[in-house]
Every structure is written in structure tokens, then in C-alpha cells.
Amino acid sequence: MNKILGTIIICLLSFDSVAQTKEFTAMEYVGGIGNRILKVWVTDSLIFAAKVKGLTSVTTYSPLDNTQLVVSPEKRNNPDFYVDEEKSILYSHIDFSSITPKKFLEIDNKNFVIRKIDILESYHKSKKKWGMGGYTHNGRIFVISTPNEFNSKKKRELILIGDQDEKPILEWIKKH
């Protein structure tokens, strides 16, 4: 009995040292006026970002008569309501501790992966992004990195849509 209890205690104490994936939801502007919703997973060495919804709006009327385009006012605080479940399901069974950036990009060519060793700077800007209108958001996290085959942009602006705390997210990104 003491041996089992000792094993359990050792497992609990070492739990923090096990690599864990953290996740959040963000919006990224594309082409100046468009946007896309990203699900972002952060591991010890990589940041995986997947396009889980294209264009979205918080207006009450969709000119395309598309209810998937519009996020209703009562749901705007929840970042998960911006995500298209059909696209998100593609990532639900991925082991982010073992998938390669190349395999991740094969799922959707709009995805990107930032290697943490390539990050030059990351910071949070609490000022609301101009043009966000009725979107609930907690500012933006900027990740500046050296571009490579998995991430073509030097500067990524990740808008924290819904009600999300930027402090732990920024810590996850900065932790190597």
C-alpha cells in the first residue's frame, strides 16, 4: 500500500514537468479587410495555429443570409462560439507533442507554425483594434519571429476575441 501511495505522490509531483499543450482562440486580419478565426495550441517548443473559421461578423444581419457568419450578442464573450465546429474537429485528436509542423500544415495551407526558438519578441497591446466594432476582445498579442517554411510572416497579430486573459497566454508563448 505504501509503495502505491509513494508512486501516486511522485506522479503528482512530476505532473508539472510533463509537456502540456495550452490553447486559445484568436482572430487574424488578412488582406486588410478580411478576417479568420484561429485556434492556437502552444507547446514547449512550437506554436500551432489552425484556421477554424473564415470570415465572421458581429452584425445582427448577414447580407449573405448566412447564420454561420454572424455571432449573436449573447455569445460574443465566449471565444468558442467563433469557431466552426466542422473545421475544429480536424484538430481534436492531434497529439501536439508529436505532430510535425509539416504534417500540421498539410491539414490546411492557411495554418502556420511558429518555432519558439525563432521568436524575436512577443508582447500584448491592450488597446482595442480599430475596426473591431462589436467584437468582444482583450487587445492583441504580437509575435515577431524569423519567417521560415512553416510561418511566412515576420509579425503575427493575434486578436484575443471573446473573454480571454492575456497574461497566461503570453507566458505560454514566452516560455521555452
State pLDDT tens for residues 110-147: 999 999 999 999 999 988 777 666 677 888 999 999 99
- pLDDT (0 to 100) of residue 160: 93
Residue 12 has pLDDT above 60, yes or no: no
Confidence (pLDDT) at 107: 96
Pick the more confident residue, 56 or 128.
128
- Give the pLDDT band of residue 72 (cuts 50, 70, 90): low
For residues 82-88, give the mean pLDDT.
90
Residues 6+ apart with CB under 8 A from 42: 21, 22, 23, 24, 48, 169, 172, 173
Can you tell me the mean pLDDT for 44-64?
76
**pLDDT at 137 (0 to 100):** 81
Question: Considering Cα of 45, then 82, then 109, then 141, what sign does the dihedral take?
Answer: negative
Check residue 57 and give its pLDDT: 61
What does the buried/exposed string (b/e) look like for 13-27 if buried means 16 or more CB atoms within 10 Å of the residue's CB? Answer: eeeeeeeeebebbbb
What is the reported pLDDT for 13? 41
* pLDDT for residue 38 is more than 80: yes
Provide the edge-to-edge strand list for the sheet that holds 155-161: 112-115, 46-53, 34-42, 22-30, 155-161, 137-145, 119-125
**CB crowding 58-92: b at 16 or more within 10 Å, else e:** beeeeeeeeeebbbeeeebebbeebbeeebbeebe
State phi, psi for 75 to the nearest 5 degrees: -110, -5
Backbone angles phi, psi at 55, to 5 degrees: -50, 135
Phi first, then psi, for residue 86 (nearest 5°) are -65, -40
pLDDT for the residue numbered 17? 37
Mean pLDDT of 2-13: 46
Q: What percent of the chain has pLDDT over 90?
A: 54
- Collapse the DSSP code of 151 into the 3-class scheme (helix H, G, I; strand E, B; otherwise coil) and give the result: strand
